[in-house]
Chains A and B, each alone.
Chain A
Amino acid sequence: MEAPVFIEAKSLVKNYKRIQAVKDLSFTVFKGDIFGFLGPNGAGKSTTIRMILSLIRQDEGDINIFGLPLRKNRNRILTGIGALVEEPRLYEYMSAYGNLEMLGRLSGKSISRNRIMEVLSLTGLDERWNSPVKSFSHGMKQRLGIAQAIIHDPELLILDEPANGLDPKGMKDMREIIVRLNREFGKTIFISSHILKDIELMANRMLIIDHGAKVVEGNVQELLNAAESDLKITVSEPDRAVAVLKDKLGLTDLIIDHEGNIVLKANREHVPEINKLLVDNGLKIFSLTPVNSLEKYFLDKT
């Protein structure tokens, strides 16, 4: 049975004067998804996210969230959403606790002291709960941004570039928090990022947009598997292996790299056939790796 639809965007259009920022964009996010939202800078990601959060109005199209039209049910819908839009902007003169207490009170739910401390602990800020936000590093502010998004225990999290500006450790921490929120706490997560590795590691479904329009939407692994990718083969006698592949399979687009590996383009379903052919010809295969990164897929699509 298909999971309930959490976000349904239909034919969204947004114009800024003469610039069409979003063009006829439709997509669906299901309950339980970590939905990766990808696109180059200026593709319309932030505009789309702001429309979902009703920070800006779409010129055309409809958004339904939790099965309700956003325009008529804004407050009801926002009760179930936690959001981090671009870099976290918080009240710098207040403490982390003060920010969460204030924003929690606005969420329409009763937020206890224990809940605030629990969220601060989850985001690793419990030791600095009483420090003013202006004394925080960028990474800490980013984590507090996540904390304010989850303080009211929303079902859906909308995170716009949450790992932006973080160092590698900060990015890893952020990734772990997001995956934990999805797996342990059952949050549905809509996440935009230009860090493709993050999406590849976290998301189960994704949408790529470019120039405001949809390029592709679907299951991350299915999309990557269906795409023609590089296949790297470490084999004994690479020259003979190349000759076999050219002769028997008619492959032409293949090279031997500087480490002696054969690199060729192939769909994932052809991998067993290639493997069998090389083994049948008496070649020893040490490794056979499809190199189908999201980065390559993304660059191919945009």
Chain B
Amino acid sequence: MVNLIFIELKKVFGRKRSYIGFLVIFILVSILQAAMWVEGQTFIDLFTQNLQDTFVLEGNLMNGYFISFMLMNSLWVLLPFLVTFVAGDSIAGEAHAGTLRLMLTRPVSRTSLITAKYIASVTYTFLVVLLLMILSLGISSLIFGTGDLIVFSKTLNIFPEKEVLPKFLGAFGFAFLGMTLVTTLAFFFSVLTNNSIGPIVGTMAIVLSFTIITNLNLQVFHVIRKLLFTSYINSWTLFFDYTIDWRQIYLSLLVSVMHIAALFAATLWIFKRKDILS
């Protein structure tokens, strides 16, 4: 199994297109960091304009933590697309290229193959989120320094510097979980077709449709919203609420893990019965 995972990882990272996700994140983060370097202080002043009339704000608020929070919010919509790229191609791409039959004429069980492919896809997703964390949190902190974090999450909150890092670790952990769910959905679609575009379009269509329904504050969607996974993949923002709602975090964790397990089980079930005709 370790051998198979290694081979699948080699395949993922042996293709140039797998680096598009890393490149896009690197470029966007760099652009946003440069923009904040130029006019970040003006942005903070605008952001805290009303507060400055009432409170005295001390210290470096335009710091790496603030930039990182901003980057997470800005790039969150882009991440599903980037991780879908690899997961959606994982099975369908090989079926289209005809190499899936090459793999399956080897003494490798379908369960092992699909598990290895899934682990490779999730590893890629982890590395995408990790890169975002390193660039946005690590590099931003080096460039802009650290300090208290001022965020607007339901209410305007200011967190002391010493509380911020655990919040980011929790947030990035949940971001990874959310993106793993998207990866699993793309992986599921990948077993249904023999071309890479279908899973990417299918996954994005579902993520966007569900997100729209989740964000529409209409009573009619109240019940449906609870059933949609998109209601839970944004749960990383819960870590920046004034009081962390741990019950909601555990619920999100449970729902996300259940979705991931169900989608992976369905993928495995279909793949084990699939006739390889490509």
Contact = CB atoms under 8 A, between A and B. Distances in A.
Contacts of B106: 78, 103, 106-108
A53 B14 contact: no
A105 B10 CA distance: 13
Name the interface size band of chain A: 20 to 34
B4 A106 contact: yes
Contacts, number: 69
A90 B107 contact: no
A76 interface: yes
Given A76-B107, A93-B15, A57 B275 contact: yes
A89 B97 contact: yes
Contacts of B54: none
Interface string A148-164: 10000000000000000
Contacts of A106: 3-4, 7, 103, 106-108
A50 to B, nearest CB: 7
Interface residues of B, number: 24
A21 to B, nearest CB: 11
A85 interface: yes
Contacts of B275: 50, 55-57
A156 to B, nearest CB: 12
Contacts of B60: none
Contacts of B104: 53-55
B109 interface: yes
Interface string A72-90: 0011111101010111011
B196 to A, nearest CB: 15
A102 interface: yes
Contacts of B97: 89, 92
Interface in B6-24: 7, 10-11, 14-16
Interface string B88-115: 0000000001110111111111000000
Interface of A: 50, 53-57, 74-79, 81, 83, 85-87, 89-94, 102-103, 105-108, 148
Rank and list the top 3 A-B pairs by shortest CB-CB distance, nearest first.
Answer: A89-B98, A56-B275, A106-B106
